[in-house]
């Protein structure tokens, strides 16, 4: 019997039609639905999710929904994520690998009949503007309504994208299933998923296969899987950069504008910095992106960045009027999905850090009664808001310009209690690449596994480099060599998370990070002073604007300190890290390590 929806597709794109048919025949859904991206479709699907018990409509935010996942399906699963290159060496020492044929036979058996009792949705999407010279198309197949509505927020989707794909434009096929077929008469659960999970990239075929999870980073395949893992491979081949970076626009009191990109690991401050409200007079920040930057060189030799996304998928806890008022203003307008936060009795959302005092009663993310005495968090530490970027009140109008914006500075950063100063300027591009390649950070709840463990997270891309990380470092080195040094962005390393002996943060962070951005700009303009240290240029205590800041001189000194003993302890760790890459590691990085060692001795 023919599958409804399969034979009356709204396209004649032959490769797309053949692939949809092949996948529908394998997964045997009850019907195939082509996603058009209209408001009517959103109304219908969100109502279905409410009826299924997956969504609770919020009384206090228009067109917005509270959602609790299965407690086992709350974060990216790095141990289940694979780069299935033909040659194992191309996945490198930092990725899981399986031969593509072997992975395909394992997953084909998982996919066989896996959409039984469900609908297969076909989501045409485009990462970045459809008006781009080479629009970056993808098509996600999914059996999850949650994925469809989330993709509508996070990416450009629907009929206009399908039309732009024409009859033969290339696209990335992105296959997703929850892996939870329904037998006739079987009742569904609010959050179907499978205990078997695979998040798989085939870099040569530029194809994605995901199975078993509904969580954003595992299931919204335009984001991490396409825009980072697959795109990083395209970028290597084509001479550009696909990076885990926010993009912001900074305007000085003299009305000079600068675009800054910054890479921090997941849950280390990208969304907050991207939407920062400066505490120093006369400076403004506007947002262009909060998670991913695609950067290509322009004819003028400058590096131009585009945000391929269309929405914000932000960490909820810690987001409040004091810390990130622009995120609060963005979600207040509604049209948002909140996953694994708490629900208030009057139909709003709440999470730790939204307000100083918790409401007297909540429904927690596991659906249980919660009071401040419960002794547990009301919201999962990796709970998320999913909201349209166009609602951000400080969105820079040029965020959707296909050619992007010229980047003046790149910041790398992580979460380190010790060692790493508040801000350090690299001596040059290669030193900056060394900073990126050795970036370290404490693990967070954004991925399953232990939290708070220091690990190397090169360029904040450890979970997202779609090929051998040694080759990726080389790509960064070559990028520097191939372009005029004077036009390249300057590179900085920041750490908002250094702690005092009593465990408190040395630096107040959030809006006060504008002071660090100001120093960065003044370094670009050549006006701010710096001390040359073994690890790079660090602000002198009086070159950082701390006017009006409640921070003791002693605290500032500690935040900026370069402790030679702490750094010497990094050397064997960096050595061990570099050894992993064998002869893939560019020799310039060994040279940089030798320089560091020498300067510390």
**511 is an interface residue for ligand GDP by CB under 6 A:** no
Q: Are 67 and 339 in contact, with CB atoms under 8 Å apart?
A: yes
Pairing of strands 136-142, 31-34: unpaired
**271 is an interface residue for Mn ion by CB under 5 A:** yes
Nearer to ligand GDP, 233 or 263 (CB): 263
CA distance 483 to 474: 14
Minimum Å distance from CB 571 to ligand PGA? 29
3-state secondary structure of 356: coil
Minimum Å distance from CB 447 to ligand PGA? 7
Pairing of strands 119-127, 198-202: unpaired
3-state secondary structure of 164: helix
3-state secondary structure of 313: strand
User: In this chain, which of 56, 218, 232, 266 binds Mn ion, going by CB under 5 A?
Assistant: 266
Cβ count within 10 A of residue 282: 11
Site stretch for ligand PGA (CB under 6 A), options 122-130, 250-258, 266-274, 476-484: 266-274
215 carries a ligand binding annotation: yes
CA distance 316 to 582: 40
271 carries a ligand binding annotation: yes
- Give the largest CA-CA distance in the chain: 76
Residue from 181, 203, 188 nearest 120 by CA? 181
217 carries a ligand binding annotation: yes
Torsion of CA 346, 348, 351, 357, to 10 degrees: -50
CA distance 421 to 183: 57
**457 is an interface residue for Mn ion by CB under 5 A:** no
**3 is an interface residue for ligand GDP by CB under 6 A:** no
Binds 175, which of ligand GDP, ligand PGA, Mn ion, none (CB < 5 to 8 A, cut-off by type)? Answer: none
Q: Report how many residues bind ligand GDP under the rule CB under 6 A.
A: 20
Q: Among the options 114, 193, 268, 392, which is catalytic? A: 268
User: In this chain, which of 136, 200, 225, 268 binds ligand GDP, going by CB under 6 A?
Assistant: 268
**315 is an interface residue for ligand PGA by CB under 6 A:** yes
The kind and range of the H/E element at 107 are helix 100-111
Minimum Å distance from CB 271 to ligand PGA? 5
User: In this chain, which of 144, 207, 213, 266 binds ligand GDP, going by CB under 6 A?
Assistant: 266
Nearer to ligand PGA, 271 or 588 (CB): 271
Interface with ligand GDP in residues 58-117 (CB under 6 A): none
Is residue 386 part of the annotated active site? The answer reads no
Site stretch for ligand PGA (CB under 6 A), options 178-186, 265-273, 351-359, 400-408: 265-273
Binds 505, which of Mn ion, ligand PGA, ligand GDP, none (CB < 5 to 8 A, cut-off by type)? Answer: ligand GDP
Minimum Å distance from CB 276 to Mn ion? 13
CA distance 334 to 128: 23
Handedness of CA 191, 192, 196, 200 (dihedral sign): negative
**314 is an interface residue for ligand GDP by CB under 6 A:** yes
3-state secondary structure of 304: strand
Work out the burial of residue 195: count CB atoms within 10 Å of its CB; fewer than 13 is exposed, 13-18 middle, 19 or more buried.
Answer: exposed
- The tally of CA atoms less than 13 A away on the side-chain side of residue 441 is 31
Nearer to ligand GDP, 535 or 559 (CB): 559
511 carries a ligand binding annotation: yes
Residue from 433, 567, 437, 420 nearest 491 by CA? 433
Handedness of CA 105, 165, 403, 245 (dihedral sign): negative
Binds 470, which of Mn ion, ligand PGA, ligand GDP, none (CB < 5 to 8 A, cut-off by type)? Answer: none
**496 is an interface residue for ligand GDP by CB under 6 A:** yes
CA distance 455 to 444: 11
**291 is an interface residue for Mn ion by CB under 5 A:** yes
Site stretch for Mn ion (CB under 5 A), options 76-84, 271-279, 298-306, 324-332: 271-279
CA distance 597 to 601: 6
Report the catalytic residues.
Answer: 268
Q: Which chain residues interact with Mn ion by CB under 5 A? A: 266, 270-271, 291, 314
Q: Which chain residues interact with ligand PGA by CB under 6 A? A: 76, 217, 266-267, 270-271, 291, 313, 315, 446
Q: Which chain residues interact with ligand GDP by CB under 6 A? A: 264, 266-272, 290, 314-315, 317-318, 323, 496-497, 505, 509-510, 513
Q: Which residues are annotated as a binding site for substrate?
A: 76, 215-217, 266, 382-384
């Amino acid at each position: 019997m023919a599958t409804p929806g399969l034979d009356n597709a709204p396209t004649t794109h032959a490769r797309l039609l053949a692939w949809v048919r092949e996948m529908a025949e394998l997964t045997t859904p009850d019907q195939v639905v082509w996603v058009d991206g209209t408001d009517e479709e959103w109304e219908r699907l969100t109502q279905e999710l409410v009826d299924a018990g997956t969504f609770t409509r919020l009384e206090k935010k228009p067109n917005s929904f509270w959602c609790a996942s299965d407690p086992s399906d709350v974060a990216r699963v790095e141990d289940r994520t694979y780069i299935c290159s033909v040659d194992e060496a191309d996945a490198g020492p930092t990725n899981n690998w399986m031969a593509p044929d072997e992975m395909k036979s394992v997953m084909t058996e998982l996919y066989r009949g896996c959409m039984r009792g469900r609908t297969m949705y076909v989501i045409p999407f485009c990462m970045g503007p459809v008006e781009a010279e080479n629009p970056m198309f993808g098509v996600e197949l999914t059996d999850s309504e949650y994925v469809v509505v989330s993709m509508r927020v996070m990416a450009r989707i629907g009929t206009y994208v399908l039309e732009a794909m024409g009859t033969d434009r290339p696209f990335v096929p992105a296959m997703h299933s929850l892996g939870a077929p329904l037998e006739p008469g079987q009742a569904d659960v609010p959050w179907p998923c499978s205990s078997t999970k695979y998040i798989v990239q085939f870099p040569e075929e530029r194809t994605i296969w995901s199975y078993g999870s509904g969580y954003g980073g595992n299931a919204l395949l335009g984001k991490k899987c396409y825009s980072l893992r697959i795109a990083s491979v395209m970028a290597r081949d084509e001479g550009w950069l696909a990076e885990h970076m926010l993009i912001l626009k900074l305007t000085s009191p003299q009305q000079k504008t600068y675009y800054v990109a910054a890479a921090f690991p997941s849950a280390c401050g990208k969304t907050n910095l991207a939407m920062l409200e400066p505490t120093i007079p006369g400076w403004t920040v506007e947002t262009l992106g909060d998670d991913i930057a695609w950067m290509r060189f322009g004819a003028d030799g400058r590096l131009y960045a585009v945000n391929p996304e269309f929405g914000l998928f932000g960490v909820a806890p810690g987001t409040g009027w004091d810390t990130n008022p622009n995120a609060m203003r963005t979600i207040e307008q509604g049209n948002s999905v909140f996953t694994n936060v708490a629900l208030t009795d009057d139909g709003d959302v709440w999470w730790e850090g939204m307000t100083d005092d918790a409401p007297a009663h909540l429904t927690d993310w596991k659906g249980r009664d919660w009071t401040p005495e419960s002794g547990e968090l009301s919201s999962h530490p990796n709970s998320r808001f999913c909201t349209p970027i166009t609602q951000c009140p400080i969105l820079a109008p040029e965020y959707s310009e296909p050619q992007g914006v010229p980047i003046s500075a790149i910041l790398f950063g992580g979460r380190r209690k010790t060692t790493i100063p508040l801000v350090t300027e690299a001596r040059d591009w290669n030193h900056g690449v060394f900073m990126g390649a050795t970036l370290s950070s404490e693990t967070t709840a954004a991925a399953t596994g232990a939290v708070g463990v220091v690990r190397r997270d090169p360029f904040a891309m450890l979970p997202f480099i779609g090929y051998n990380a040694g080759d990726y470092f080389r790509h960064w080195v070559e990028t520097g060599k191939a372009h005029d040094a004077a036009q390249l962005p300057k590179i900085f390393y920041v750490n908002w998370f250094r702690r005092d002996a009593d465990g408190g943060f040395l630096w107040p962070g959030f809006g006060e990070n504008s002071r660090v951005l100001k120093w960065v700009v003044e370094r670009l303009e050549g006006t701010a002073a710096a001390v040359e240290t073994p690890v790079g240029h660090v602000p002198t205590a009086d070159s950082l604007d701390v006017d009006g800041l409640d921070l003791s001189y002693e605290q500032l000194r500690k935040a900026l300190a370069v402790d030679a003993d702490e750094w010497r302890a990094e050397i064997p760790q960096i050595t061990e890290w570099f050894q992993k890459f064998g002869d893939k590691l560019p020799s310039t990085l060994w040279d940089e390590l030798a320089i560091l060692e020498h300067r510390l001795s």
